């Protein structure tokens, strides 16, 4: 109970600091819509040049980017601030966090919960609803379950990438760009049909690292399409397993990093 009250106090303090400058908060709230808007706009521009991409129509492509964007927006809202780990290490904030009798990761998340990104969640959800309405999906119990699981699994997967990338800062403080290549780069990778990639690049990122199960394979299963890459329909239901594996790897990386951390002495 004491821990819950401590976390609630951290969250209230964060919310008060954000709302102290209301105009700035409102501007940040609106400007954060841009990320999702650009994701969708990029796909729309691409389909102006061609009727299909890797055999997928505009509405089918919109479903893929919508699943990817909504999962990423959820992860970015809850743990996205962890990509500031290099600042926490360099400024000694980690020292203060570690001496408190609370788990480290929840503290860091609640210390800087990006409430300004809340509207981005709403827009991403709206794009997903629109994509579902534009596609002629034959709804079954399995597909409804898949629709519920996919954004949650996508959020867990991207959150794991955020945490794993942040863990690198325990060894390599200026690893921000390296981490962004997997977090934001991974979001961009999952916004298109995986069939547009080829060779070792697709094999490594889509299947070995699991990015292909975030949006593409679930979208193929929802649409009832035959996967042009030859995977069976049940591959769309692998996304929760990919998320669990990613979370386990991230947990190991995070705990190893915490044990490796040396105080800045501040």
Which token pair is 36?
A: 């999702």
Which token pair is 236?
A: 């769309």
Question: Considering only CA atoms, which of 266, 214, 263 is closest in space to residue 240?
Answer: 214
Query: Residue 165 CA to chain centroid, in angstroms?
Result: 12
Question: Considering only CA atoms, which of 90, 210, 232 is closest in space to residue 153?
Answer: 210
Which token pair is 78?
A: 């809850």
pLDDT in tens, the chain (266 residues): 666 777 777 667 766 766 666 666 666 666 666 666 777 778 778 888 888 888 889 999 999 999 998 999 899 888 888 878 778 877 778 787 787 778 888 888 777 777 667 778 888 888 899 999 999 899 999 999 999 999 999 999 999 999 988 888 888 877 777 777 888 888 889 988 998 898 899 999 999 999 999 999 999 999 998 888 888 888 889 999 999 999 999 999 988 988 887 766 55
């Amino acid at each position: 109970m004491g821990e819950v009250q401590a976390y609630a106090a951290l969250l209230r303090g964060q919310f008060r600091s954000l709302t102290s400058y209301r105009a700035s908060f409102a501007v940040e709230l609106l400007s954060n819509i841009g990320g999702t808007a650009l994701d969708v706009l990029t796909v729309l521009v691409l389909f102006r040049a061609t009727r299909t991409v890797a055999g997928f129509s505009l509405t089918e492509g919109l479903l893929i980017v919508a699943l990817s964007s909504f999962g990423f927006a959820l992860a970015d809202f809850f743990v996205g601030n962890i990509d500031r780990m290099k600042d926490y290490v360099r400024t000694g904030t980690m020292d203060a966090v570690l001496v408190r009798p609370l788990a480290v990761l929840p503290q860091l998340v609640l210390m800087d919960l990006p409430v300004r990104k809340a509207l981005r969640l709403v827009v991403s959800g709206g794009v997903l609803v629109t994509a579902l309405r534009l596609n002629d999906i034959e709804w079954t119990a399995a597909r409804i379950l898949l629709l519920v699981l996919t954004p949650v699994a996508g959020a867990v997967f991207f959150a794991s990438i955020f945490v794993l990338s942040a863990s690198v800062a325990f060894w390599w403080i200026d690893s921000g760009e390296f981490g962004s290549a997997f977090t934001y780069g991974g979001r961009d990778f999952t916004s298109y049909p995986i069939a547009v990639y080829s060779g070792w690049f697709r094999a490594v990122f889509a299947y070995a690292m699991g990015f292909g199960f975030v949006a593409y394979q679930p979208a193929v299963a929802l649409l009832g399409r035959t996967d042009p890459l030859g995977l069976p329909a049940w591959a769309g239901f692998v996304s929760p397993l990919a998320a669990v594996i990613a979370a386990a790897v991230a947990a190991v990386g995070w705990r190893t990093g915490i044990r490796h951390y040396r105080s800045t002495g501040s």
